[in-house]
A and B are shown apart, each in its own frame.
Chain A
Amino acid sequence: MSARLKYSSYYLPEIIVTNEMIHERFPSWPPSRLKDLMGVENRYYASEGETVNDIAVKAAEKLFLEFPIDRSEIDFVLLCTQTPDYFSPTNACIIQDRLGIRKNSGALDFSHGCSGFIYGLGLAKSLIMSGIAANVLLITADTISRALDPDDQATVLFFGDGASASLITKSDEDHFYPFIYGTDGGGADHLTIKGGAFADRSVESNTSKPCLHMNGTEIYTFSINTVPGLVKDTLAKANMTMDEIDMVIFHQANKYMLESLRKLIKIPPEKYAIYTFNGGNTTSSTIPIALRCAIDEGRVSSGSKILVAGFGVGLSWASSIFKL
């Protein structure tokens, strides 16, 4: 039994936060600097009352609209989010119902950010290869704007809301090369949403909103020091060289970091994805958004070999290579 990533779509919500709006709040960041250095133009925020489950459903409905998919054949729903609507029930159950996915299907939430899409691909592949499922709907979605401190330059500059939906199916030929996963929970405090969960049920925690905290220098340094080796190991495990890769898609944190990584690893610009301008850092959705942008621009097509790597919150990193 083999698996492939067949289709992918994404949804960005409707409230637009422009570079001009960011500049008003942070005078040292003129729009040109945000665009040229950080590669961000607009961020998109979910509108009032619009939740992760809403944008997840919208991304999936878009997928069903854009591609010839029979939703009655989907037999597993995976939702990757770190800003869930509910602690309980599993949000993927609600999504199953709202999408009209059949009842004899599995539904599972999992919590990851920057490496989440690759966790989802690995889970979907495993479910298919083990015979548990044949058609897996993988959704990534976060309304990270709800966890932003409006005065925190380290996060407000880059982050926005977004969701992606992908279909991973059983196939004759395996399109996935090996996966690599890595974890260093010792760095957990460098990127975390503080408050709102069960570790602290004090009145103070219950009345203040959960807040994203990022130590940008730590996360940048971790990425610069981790990703070059990760790429090398991923190629070695697949017994491939960079010459055989058609496109490298990293987690789209910001253009500055992506350019630093590209130069360090010596990846030619023509086979390197930078799509930060399209919604900024949408956590686990940046890789599928960038993939779809590269497909839409004709930079990759059926048969292209894509190297993907996600790295950040956890600390966590994950990578793989797959054939479109």
Chain B
Amino acid sequence: MEIDKFIKDFAEALELTAWSHLKPDSVFRDAVEGWDSLSALIIITMIKSEYDVAIKANEFIECKTLSELFDKVESLKNVE
């Protein structure tokens, strides 16, 4: 699993038209314009549907950057 694909999945789930500024070290809540509580639900759903990973809400909240979120998904995937 590659972080580039993860960032693409992340951007497509949110239906972002421009997302080339999203990098592994981007703090996604700041980098995504108009991020709100619904955006979190969209990403949590994407992680379940694309990666079959059940991330908990508090685990998601703890992740600040895209690479932190990617690493969390990877580690949960490996546990399963």
Contacts and interface: CB of A to CB of B under 8 A. Distances in A.
Interface residues of A, number: 15
Given A220-B44, A264-B49, A225 B54 contact: yes
A256 B41 contact: yes
15 contacts: A37-B38, A215-B57, A216-B37, A217-B60, A217-B61, A220-B41, A221-B55, A221-B56, A221-B57, A221-B60, A224-B44, A228-B48, A256-B41, A260-B45, A263-B49
A219 to B, nearest CB: 9
Interface of B is mostly: helix
A221 B49 contact: no
Given A217-B37, A217-B40, A264 B45 contact: yes
Contacts of A222: 57
B44 to A, nearest CB: 5
Interface string A87-102: 0000000000000000
A223 to B, nearest CB: 10
A37 B37 CA distance: 14
A217 B41 contact: yes
A218 interface: yes
Contacts, number: 39
Nearest to B40: A217
Nearest to B54: A225
A215 B41 CA distance: 12
Nearest to A215: B57
Contact of A225 (B40, B48, B58, B61): B48
A264 B48 contact: yes
Contacts of A263: 49
A256 B54 CA distance: 18
B44 A221 contact: yes
Contacts of B55: 221, 225
Interface in A208-235: 215-218, 220-222, 224-225, 228
B49 A217 contact: no
Interface in A308-322: none
A199 B41 CA distance: 33
Which residue of A218, A224, A263 has the most chain B CB atoms within 10 A of its CB atom? A224
Q: 7 closest A-B pairs (Cβ-Cβ)?
A: A225-B54, A221-B57, A218-B57, A217-B57, A260-B45, A220-B41, A221-B44
